[in-house]
Structure formats: structure tokens, C-alpha cells
Chains A and B, each alone.
Chain A
Amino acid sequence: MLELRLVQGSLLKKVLEAIRDLVTDANFDCSGTGFSLQAMDSSHVALVALLLRSEGFEHYRCDRNLSMGMNLNNMAKMLRCAGNEDIITIKADDGSDTVTFMFESPNQDKIADFEMKLMDIDSEHLGIPDSEYQAIVRMPSAEFSRICKDLSSIGDTVIISVTKEGVKFSTAGDIGTANIVCRQNKTVDKPEDATIIEMQEPVSLTFALRYMNSFTKASPLSDQVTISLSSELPVVVEYKVAEMGYIRFYLAPKIEEDEEMKS
């Protein structure tokens, strides 16, 4: 028996919108820790890891660990039927091959339930170690989203370079080149506007903008985004989900040849 009640139902809607671009089918895993998902995109270049901790739910009951295979587009279709203020309850019985989403309007005068068929999905599960990163950039998520969008109109890849001075996003394409530099800025009125750079050593990596753009679909979840870079590791783009968890996107850096082609 599984029963999760999420008062801030809009969070789940946003989570779905954030990942369904990248992944079409995925297994949601429920355990005592929380509601989680790990999935790779079809080309295995990007990985998304979602965690919503059990403490974040108003009610969390998960008698046994359960893995539910869902088509994210179908799930998004159902969740779009929930109002932004609605309370969402997810229910599943052990052994059943369906999951039920229940939407309650805030004043309880409308209750809807949607039952969705589950799928059997073969997924690979990767162990992601806790790593030390050479550079960690925290910046407003809207800013990052804007940068990726702007650069993708010029080139296909972005080179993210972190130095003491700041973080530079650059690209080159048929029509020309572009560089955007963001400096560290801690003295802001609102903490969510800050840009903070923690750097152990300078690092410069190249990534496909197509993926970066789909990561930024998670921007509505959080005002800030954290980008962790290390030369030997996939970049981690993390959005916090309220106080209850996170969505992390991992993207393997592009190999050298592209950088040489640029220079």
C-alpha cells in the first residue's frame, strides 16, 4: 500500500514538466526515504535524478518499497488536470498495475481521481558517488535559462569556464560567436538574485546546449540553480524542490574535438 499526500500539488506538476522533455518512460521508486526517480535520456548522455523526501509530504505511507513504471507524458496529461492549488494524493496498492492520482480542491468541494496504467520498464540504475567538484556556481535559475536559450540561437554547444573572475558561457556558430560572463555577486537585496562561485581550480567544459535547454525546464521549481563542474565528471545542474528534495541533471561533457574545431 502506497499513499502520498502532497499539499503543494503544483510541485509535482512542475517536476513532471521539468523531466518529461528528457525522459519518456521512467520508474518511480517509493521507499521509506521518499519518492524518487533516476532515468537516462534515450541516448544515455544525460541523466536525471529526482528525490522528494518523505518528510515533505503531509502524509507518507509506503509499506513496501515499490517501483512504478510510468509514461511521463501520460502522467503529465493527468497531472495537468489538477489545479495549481490542488492537493494531490498518489495511491497504489501492492500488486496492482495501476496508480491513482487524487486531486482535491483547497476547499474540498471538488475531488477528482485519475487512475493510470503502469508499465513494465527495464531501466538501468547507476550508482552516483558523492564527488568533490572543482567549481560550483550558484546563480538565479531564470538567468541561467536565459543564457542557454540565447546561446542556443547562435551555436550548438556551450563552453562553461569558471575562473576567479566569474563564470563564462560561450558559444560559436555559423553566424558568429557569443560570450556571456557572470560575475560573483553576493551583495543583493534578495538572496535568490545572488551569483556565488566556489572554485577550487579553474575549469572549462563543453556541453550540448540542447540538453542544457531541456534542464532549464525545471526553472519554475526553484529561484536558484547550482551548477557543479569537474573536468573528469558530468556536470550536475541541480534545482531544489521546495524544502523537500531536488532534481539533478547530469550531462557528460563533450569530447575535446569540438573545442579544437572552435579554435
Chain B
Amino acid sequence: MRSGSGGGDMKSFFRQQKAHAAAGSVKPTGGVSKKASQPRHHQKPVAQAVPDLADDPRRRIDEEEEERERMGREFDMDMRYGPCLGVTRAQRWRRAAALGLAPPHAVIAVCSDDQPCLWEGRV
């Protein structure tokens, strides 16, 4: 029997949900122990089927947008790269890079020059 090829891959039918943050498995960014913290943003629990428009491109774009936004926010919240008020994300990234702090490259790729930090205008 072609046992391996039992059929199509499940993932070609059901879209993968983002990170298993779903119901609480936390993949900490720092060196925190594996169950120490709780999900920062928590999605629907597993078994509640999520209405899902399988291949809706709009949705995919939304999600990419959300992913970028999330990355930006996380960068803002990461104190290692210095104060974020009064500078744009890109400026802060360059300053961190100049100081040898090795900020993640993915962030600069999605930051436009004029993108303010998360706290701009709120504090």
C-alpha cells in the first residue's frame, strides 16, 4: 500500500493558524521557562471551528499586514534597543544597529521611514 501517501495533506484543506499561542502554549522570546508565562494575545480555543475563508487573498494580506504590525510593536516593546519615544521606528533601529545591538533585520524591512513608535502621542 502506498501508505505514506494516504491522501492529500491536511494542511492543503485547513489553513494553519498562527503560532500555537492558540490556547496558551507560550514560546517565550527571552529565556523564560516554558510554562512560566501566559499568552499575551490569545486566540480562539482549539475546538471551536473558526469560520475560515480558505483562500481569500484579502484575508491573507490582512494577516501579513498584521504580522508586520506585530513585529513592529514587539520591537518597540523590546527595551534592549533603547528608548523609543521621540524617534521613528527606523531611526531607533539604526541607532541600535550603530550601537552594535544587532536589532532584528526583519524589522527594518517592514518599517517605513516615518513610522512612529507604539507610544507616539499616547504618553
A residues bordering B, Cβ < 8 Å? 27, 29-34, 36-38, 40, 43-47, 49-51, 64-67, 69, 94-97, 118, 120-130, 156-157, 207-208, 210-211, 233-234, 245, 250-255
Contact = CB atoms under 8 A, between A and B. Distances in A.
28 contacts: A27-B20, A29-B24, A29-B46, A30-B23, A30-B24, A31-B23, A33-B47, A38-B47, A44-B11, A45-B8, A46-B10, A47-B10, A65-B42, A66-B35, A67-B25, A69-B25, A97-B34, A97-B35, A123-B20, A123-B25, A124-B16, A125-B20, A128-B49, A208-B1, A210-B1, A211-B6, A250-B13, A252-B8
Interface in B101-119: none
B7 A125 contact: no
B24 A64 contact: yes
A211 B6 CA distance: 8
B34 A120 contact: yes
Contacts, number: 152
B50 A46 contact: no
Given A46-B10, A125-B17, A94 B35 contact: yes
A92 to B, nearest CB: 9
Contact of A44 (B10, B35, B36): B10
Interface in B20-62: 20, 22-26, 33-36, 38-39, 42, 45-54
Nearest to A63: B38
B20 A124 contact: yes
Contact of A66 (B9, B24, B53, B54): B24
A120 B28 CA distance: 12
A125 B22 contact: yes
Kindly name the residue among B6, B42, B52 whose own CB sees the greatest number of chain A CB atoms within 10 A: B6
B10 to A, nearest CB: 5
A17 to B, nearest CB: 20
B41 to A, nearest CB: 11
Contacts of A95: 33, 35-36
Contact of B7 (A29, A40, A255): A255
A207 B7 CA distance: 7
B15 interface: yes
A96 B33 CA distance: 9
B54 A36 contact: no
B47 A126 contact: no
Contact of B3 (A94, A126, A208): A208
B54 A49 contact: no
Nearest to A33: B45
Contacts of B10: 40, 44-47, 126, 234, 250, 252
B121 interface: no
A199 B67 CA distance: 41
